[in-house]
Amino acid sequence: MRFENVTAWDQVYSPEEQKRFLDLVETGQVLLFPNLPFAVQEAERILLSPKTSDGKSKNVAYDGGSGDVFGTTLQGNERQVLRSFMRRFTEGARSLIEHLFPRYVPYLAPRLASFRPVAVEGRNTSSKKDDTRLHVDAFASRPNQGRRILRVFSNANPHNQPRTWLVGEAFEPYAKRFLPSVRPQWPLEAPILKALHVTKSTRTPYDHAMLGLHDHGKLDDEYQATAPRERVDFPAGSTWVCFTDQVLHAALGGQFLLEQTFFLPVAGMGDAQRSPLRVLERLAGRSLA
């Protein structure tokens, strides 16, 4: 859903506009703001190069709590420029979410931000890790324990190149297709994974189910070839927002993307029944988190 009139990260909206934004995002829509660029300052243009990445990590990551940056070899002043660049984006993303969805403000938990200076095209990876295949987001090492994954993206490409996605079907039919194939979580599996530091917190039955949906969907070649999808080109200088645990998506192309993740408990939603947690609980017939 495009909103041409959104042009500032701290723009003020009427209660009616805020309700519409909330209803759309919670029903699995992608909110696109084509006239909301994240302005790259002159001193930051040195960052618009694949060399900003360390060549090993998929993304450069920024922890807003500690101010640390990861996945880069930059040092000294250049590292400080990167840290400032990422901090500005995190602050802008937080302001945008607070103005769009004031209901979420008391519940929001900012997570890592990322900068993706390497082109999507040409990456060599396994099918399970291949983000050009339709999937919902689920974190193997950082369980979100039923909380929503709300993300702000901004295309900072200086060459006017779009970020290209495929957007797939609604979450519930996808879950109905693949949930029966997800193996049951083994007894003591979650505490053992945590004790071995495979996960940073306890992997709930919900997290286990979501990882199964993520993996089964990506590994199913027939589904990837025939599933409903729509191609979306997010233009350079645009920003978009969605729940990526709900929106089936695949990244086909683009470079120089910024992204900020927030966790949101289902209690903070306008309608918790729309959440993947509640959908999966209805399908499974039991509590999952």
For residues 203 and 193, the answer to whether their CB atoms sit within 8 Å is yes
30: Cα within 13 Å, side-chain hemisphere:
24
The answer on pLDDT for 15 being more than 80 is yes
pLDDT at residue 183, rounded to an integer: 96
Q: Closest Cα to residue 234, out of 86, 91, 35?
A: 35
Check pLDDT > 90 for residue 128. Answer: no
CB within 8 Å of 188: residues ≥ 6 apart: none
User: Tell me, what's the pLDDT at 127?
Assistant: 80
| β-bridge mates for residue 33, sequence order | 239
Q: Which amino acid is at 36?
A: L
The whole-model pTM stands at 0.95
At 247-267, the pLDDT tens digits run: 999 999 999 999 999 999 999
The mean per-residue pLDDT over the stretch 211-224 comes to 97
- Give pLDDT tens digits for 87-97: 999 999 999 99
Mean pLDDT of the 240-251 span: 98
Is residue 169 predicted with pLDDT exceeding 80? yes
**Residues 90 and 62 sit within 8 Å (Cβ to Cβ):** yes
pLDDT at 50: 94
Percentage of the chain modeled with pLDDT above 70: 99
Residue 24 is predicted with a pLDDT of 98
pLDDT at 157: 97
Q: What is the pLDDT of residues 26-63, one digit of tens each?
A: 999 999 999 999 999 999 999 999 999 998 888 999 99
How far is residue 66's CA from residue 68's CA, in Å, rounded to a whole number?
5
Q: Is the pLDDT of residue 124 over 80?
A: no
pLDDT at 55: 86
Model pLDDT for residues 176-198, shown as the tens digit of each residue: 999 999 999 999 999 999 999 99
- Residue the block writes with tokens 């083994």: 186
What is the pLDDT at residue 121?
Answer: 81
For residue 133, what pLDDT band results from cuts at 50, 70 and 90? very high
The span from the CA of 93 to the CA of 90, in Å, is 5
Flag whether pLDDT at 147 surpasses 80. yes
Q: Count other C-beta atoms under 10 Å from residue 183's C-beta.
A: 7
Residue 253, burial from CB neighbour count under 10 angstroms (0-12, 13-18, 19+):
middle
Q: Write down all domains in the chain, each with its CATH number in brackets.
A: 15-278 (2.60.120)
**What is the separation, in whole angstroms, between the first and last Cα of the chain?**
31
pLDDT above 80: residue 125? no
